[in-house]
Amino acid sequence: MRRITCLDDIAEGLDALCAIDPRLSDVRAQAGEVPLRLSEPGFFSLASIIVSQQVSRASADAIFGRLIRLVDPLTPQALLDAGEPVFREAGLSRPKIRTLLAVSRAVQEGLDLNHLCRLDAEDAIHHMTAVPGIGPWTAEVYLLFAAGHPDIFPARDVALQTAVGQALRVDPRPGEKALIGLAESWSPWRGVAARLFWSYYRETRGRDAAPPSQMPKKA
């Protein structure tokens, strides 16, 4: 399976998308830089995505920044050993604490997050969503950014719904099912289309709403 691993892949995908759907040429012109957003597979990257669920990018960055200062290095065992005071100081909600602990236990029990990146998207999402607290959005974003899957579009993402609605003049903004339908025509480059619309949102709304693509801190 081909992966998105460099900016040349992004450029190739953008060219293909504009040929597939000429409406996207104007979106591309307004979107500015479309970054690669590639992170190292593994627990650190997945934890950052879990923290970013249902909060603003700024809030997610602040909470995750506190967490990695308090739990260093951020590993499954370190999180399992951390305790409630650490989670409270980091600012994590109880659902996110439960999810992070469930993922930590799953990894300790054999869930291989690196191996999942080598599977096709459907199989990988199936394995990930078997972990309590991991939903389709979290699994899709992990595979986009940590595995470089080229053809995933997280249609549950509110920023993507807003950006597509504004750019393509869909009013009211498309919900999940409608957006899945719209994005089908952008296959096999839906992963680049997602990056394009997150960039469009950033330029038109003045803030970055894309999920973080985190790299572990260097020792």
Res 219: pLDDT: 45
Query: What is the dotted CATH code of the domain comprising 43-146?
Result: 1.10.340.30
Query: What is the dotted CATH code of the domain comprising 7-37+151-205?
Result: 1.10.1670.40
* pTM summary value: 0.92
Count Cβ atoms within 10 A of the Cβ of residue 14 and give its class: 0-12 exposed, 13-18 middle, 19 or more buried.
buried
Comparing 176 with 215, which gets the higher pLDDT? 176
* pLDDT tens per residue across span 32-86: 999 999 999 999 999 999 999 888 888 999 999 999 999 999 999 999 999 899 9
Res 55: pLDDT: 87
Alpha-carbon gap, residue 109 to 57, rounded angstroms: 31
The structural domains of the chain, with segments of one domain joined by +, span 7-37+151-205, 43-146
